[in-house]
Amino acid sequence: MTIGQIWSDSFRLFFAPLVGAIKGAGSECRRVNSEIEMRRQAEQSTDMKTGHVTAACGNVFADLGFEPKEALSLQAESRRIIAGRRNARDSDQVEG
C-alpha cells in the first residue's frame, strides 16, 4: 500500500458521513418531488372533471371582485412594483 492510497482512503473515510448525507438528501428530494408531481397530476385530473371555467378579463383584481377603478389602480401599482424589481434584478445581473 502506497502513501497515496493511504491518503486517498483516509480522505474518503473522513468525508464519508458528509457524502452519505448529501446522497441521502438527494434521494429524499427525489422522493418528495415524485410525491409532489403525483399530487399535482391528481389535482389536475380532478380540476379537469369540474368542467366549469370562469373567463378572465385580464385584470386579476377585477376578477377578484374589486371595483373597476380600484382594480385598474391596483393593477397599475403591481405593474410598477414588478417593473422596479425586474430592473433591480437586471442591474444586479449586469454588475455581477
pLDDT digit string (tens) for 48-69? 666 666 677 788 888 888 999 9
- Please report the sign of the dihedral spanned by the C-alpha atoms of residue 73, residue 75, residue 76, residue 77: positive
- The answer to whether 61 touches 75, Cβ cutoff 8 Å, is yes
Q: What pTM was computed for the model?
A: 0.41
Position 73 scores a pLDDT of 94
Residues 6+ apart with CB under 8 A from 76: none
Cell representation of residue 87: 430592473
